[in-house]
């Protein structure tokens, strides 16, 4: 067996995130990325010329041919290494894992991870928009039956989980209710109206059993994270946040061909991340879990091991998931409250974990903030990247 | 269109559901491919499916942005586990929403959509 790689020198030194918006005005995706990068550089106390690594995720609807090159030209970066990471919603977390590798090996000193873009509803809600996110197999053998983007895939998972384990709509609703409580303490959240379980269940059924309030809202925005090599962060402004471990796992692209609907590759990805960090689930103080839908969070909690498989419904029912609770989850409100600015939705879990670990989360600061587990999820529980971030 | 995709639709045009079968792995395969995803060898055969299976999961789609489906809601989008050991996405027809149940036996049927025959499933009584 190969020795487990253990990162020691990879630290998050800068974060920058734009307030998610439903209308970005005249700005382009590249403009948003530039604004987020500037915020991260300011946060880190670094200059643009310090950046020698550039990892980007795809934009929402722009052509992303040679995207790293487009970004580097528009913002005038000249990195020694750059790449685009396309793992759907897991892309943002995966840029952090790859940046950690780049700085650990000494190839880069300061690697900028950039994610986000403009959301265009005129593209999103068309047949072309739907086909743009489908594989050829999905177009040939799935599209003729009217799958509703990712909605129907996650609905199939929720229905199967209900069948196998008796999970209830009320239990799923509790997840977004707790996250909304968190959003009330986040001035940057897109949705800040308090909601109850009854509100969730009385919102329109979109894809039975999932209701409108259980489904993420696409929007525009961007986020940037700088991963640096110790001790190169000398000029930076904050205590470093250590990248202690990462783990990834892949079993399928389309949910129709997944080995299971109720157990996801997060199970393997989280084991690998915890093993790299040399810790166990009980050592995690809080989590930032990709939440495109309520069911995504429930499956994640089970697969990571916070409760047994099938116990997720009862677990979320009996656990306070708010920033004041016993297992704080998505303390910024999650994407379900903040919106999903393209692939930057996944980065919002990284930036929030970093804020909490630094002790800079303000009104929503968690009490125990030594270690966090962040998950990025792409497709329909398809691509998974777990990160272990720590204060030390 | 590649041969494997063409053969799939040719089966359907004769009122049958065809599945690929790998003689080396002794496994059925869905969706059609140019080689077996298990052993990565070519030489896949085509066999007619029994058309029997069980409902693995379903969702009732109430809101659809797809142009051909937005006026068809609510409709039932499903995954069916065929007796041959493969899972396929489809629609369930001729089933009252109250009778829908994960695990229910289903059987093959065909509908015409956009001038093309399409394999779907209905409850097997």
Q: What is the tens place of the pLDDT at every residue in A316-343?
A: 999 999 999 999 999 999 999 999 999 9
All residues of chain A having their beta carbon less than 8 Å from the beta carbon of residue B88 are: 141, 256
Check if A147 contacts B (Cβ < 8 Å): yes
A38 burial type by CB count under 10 A (0-12 exposed, 13-18 middle, 19+ buried): middle
**Do B89 and A208 count as a contact with CB atoms less than 8 A apart?**
no
Q: What are phi and psi of A239, to 5 degrees?
A: -60, 140
pLDDT reported for residue A234: 57
pLDDT reported for residue A235: 61
Q: Which comes out higher in pLDDT, residue A233 or A187?
A: A187
Give the count of beta carbons closer than 10 Å to the beta carbon of residue A160: 22
d(CA A311, CA A128): 39
Residue A278's region, left for phi above 0, alpha for psi from -120 to 50, else beta, is: left
Quote the pTM value: 0.97
N- to C-terminal Cα separation, chain B: 37
pLDDT reported for residue A131: 85
Helix spans in chain A (H): 29-44, 67-75, 91-104, 121-124, 127-131, 136-141, 149-165, 169-183, 197-202, 266-277, 294-304, 312-318, 334-338, 344-358
- Closest residue, chain A, to B68 (C-alpha): A146
pLDDT reported for residue A233: 56
Express each pLDDT in B72-82 by its tens digit: 999 999 999 99
Q: What is the pLDDT averaged over residues B48-64?
A: 97
d(CA B110, nearest CA chain A) in Å: 12
Res. B1: pLDDT tops 90: no
Q: Which of A8, A16, A53 is nearest to A242 (CA)?
A: A8
d(CA B1, CA B61): 30
pLDDT reported for residue A125: 76
A97 burial type by CB count under 10 A (0-12 exposed, 13-18 middle, 19+ buried): buried
Would you list which residues of chain B are within 8 Å, Cβ to Cβ, of chain A?
Answer: 5, 8, 30-31, 56-69, 72, 74-75, 77, 79, 87-91, 102-103, 113, 116, 118, 120
Give the pLDDT band (50/70/90) at residue B2: low
Express each pLDDT in A208-239 by its tens digit: 999 999 999 999 999 999 999 997 655 677 88
Q: Which of B72, B119, B117, B71 is nearest to B92 (CA)?
A: B119
Res. A187: pLDDT tops 90: yes
Place of tokens 């053969």: B7
All residues of chain A having their beta carbon less than 8 Å from the beta carbon of residue B65 are: 125-126, 130, 148-149
C-beta separation of A344 from A115 below 8 A: yes
pLDDT reported for residue B7: 95
Express each pLDDT in B85-119 by its tens digit: 999 999 999 999 999 999 999 999 999 998 899 99
CA dihedral A312, B87, A86, A381 (to 10 degrees): 0
The average confidence (pLDDT) of chain A is: 95
pLDDT reported for residue A153: 97
CA dihedral A170, B100, A125, A169 (to 10 degrees): 0
Res. A3: pLDDT tops 70: no
Q: Which of A132, A148, A212 has the most B C-beta neighbours within 10 Å, making it the best mutation to test the interface with B?
A: A148
**Do B57 and A163 count as a contact with CB atoms less than 8 A apart?**
yes
Q: Which of A304, A263, A264 is nearest to A281 (CA)?
A: A304
d(CA A385, CA A265): 9
Q: What is the pLDDT averaged over residues A174-178?
A: 98
pLDDT reported for residue A1: 46
Distinct helix (H) and strand (E) counts, chain A: 14, 11
Express each pLDDT in A359-379 by its tens digit: 999 999 999 999 999 999 999
ipTM of this complex: 0.96
d(CA B11, nearest CA chain A) in Å: 14
Q: Which comes out higher in pLDDT, residue A151 or A128?
A: A151
pLDDT reported for residue B4: 78
**Do B79 and A140 count as a contact with CB atoms less than 8 A apart?**
no
């Amino acid at each position: 067996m190969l020795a487990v790689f253990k990162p020691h020198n990879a630290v998050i030194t800068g974060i920058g995130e734009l307030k998610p918006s439903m209308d970005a005005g005249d700005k382009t995706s590249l403009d948003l990325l530039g604004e987020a990068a500037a915020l991260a550089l300011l946060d880190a106390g670094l200059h643009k010329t310090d950046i020698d690594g550039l990892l980007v995720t795809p934009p929402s609807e722009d052509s992303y041919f040679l995207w790293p090159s487009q970004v580097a030209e528009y913002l005038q970066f000249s990195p020694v290494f750059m790449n685009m990471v396309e793992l759907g919603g897991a892309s943002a977390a995966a840029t952090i894992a790859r940046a950690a590798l780049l700085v650990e090996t000494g190839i880069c000193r300061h690697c900028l991870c950039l994610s986000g873009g403009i959301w265009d509803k005129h593209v999103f809600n068309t047949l072309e928009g739907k086909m743009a996110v489908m594989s050829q197999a999905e177009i040939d053998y799935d599209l003729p039956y009217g799958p509703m983007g990712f909605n129907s895939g996650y609905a199939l998972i929720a229905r199967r989980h209900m069948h196998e384990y008796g999970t209830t709509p009320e239990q799923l609703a509790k997840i977004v209710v707790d996250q909304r409580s968190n959003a009330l303490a986040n001035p940057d959240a897109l949705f800040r109206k308090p909601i109850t379980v009854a509100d969730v269940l009385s919102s329109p059924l979109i894809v039975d059993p999932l209701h409108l309030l259980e489904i993420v809202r696409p929007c525009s925005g961007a986020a940037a994270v700088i991963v640096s090599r110790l001790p190169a962060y000398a000029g930076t402004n904050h205590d470093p946040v250590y990248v202690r471990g990462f783990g990834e796992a892949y079993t399928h692209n389309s949910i129709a061909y997944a080995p299971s609907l109720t157990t996801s590759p997060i199970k393997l990805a989280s084991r690998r991340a915890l093993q790299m960090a040399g810790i166990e689930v009980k050592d995690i103080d809080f989590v930032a879990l990709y939440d495109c839908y309520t069911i995504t969070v429930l499956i994640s909690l089970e697969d990571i091991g916070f409760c047994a498989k099938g116990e997720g419904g009862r677990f979320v029912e009996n656990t306070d998931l708010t920033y004041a609770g016993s297992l704080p989850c998505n303390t910024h409100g999650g994407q379900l409250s903040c919106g999903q600015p393209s692939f930057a939705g996944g980065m919002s879990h990284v930036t929030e974990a970093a804020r909490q670990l630094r002790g800079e989360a303000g009104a929503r600061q968690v009490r125990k903030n030594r270690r966090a587990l962040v998950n990025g999820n792409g497709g329909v529980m398809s691509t998974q990247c777990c990160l272990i971030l720590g204060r030390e | 269109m590649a041969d494997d995709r063409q053969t799939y639709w040719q089966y359907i045009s004769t009122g049958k559901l065809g599945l690929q079968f790998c003689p080396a792995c002794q496994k059925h395969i869905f969706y059609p491919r140019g080689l077996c995803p298990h052993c990565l060898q070519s030489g896949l055969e085509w066999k007619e499916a029994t058309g029997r299976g069980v409902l693995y999961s379903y969702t009732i789609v109430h809101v659809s942005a797809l142009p051909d489906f937005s006026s068809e809601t609510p409709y039932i989008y499903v995954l069916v586990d065929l007796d041959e050991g493969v899972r396929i996405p489809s629609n369930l027809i001729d089933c009252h929403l109250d009778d829908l149940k994960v695990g229910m036996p289903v059987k093959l049927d065909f509908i015409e959509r956009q001038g093309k025959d399409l394999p779907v499933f209905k409850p097997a009584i």
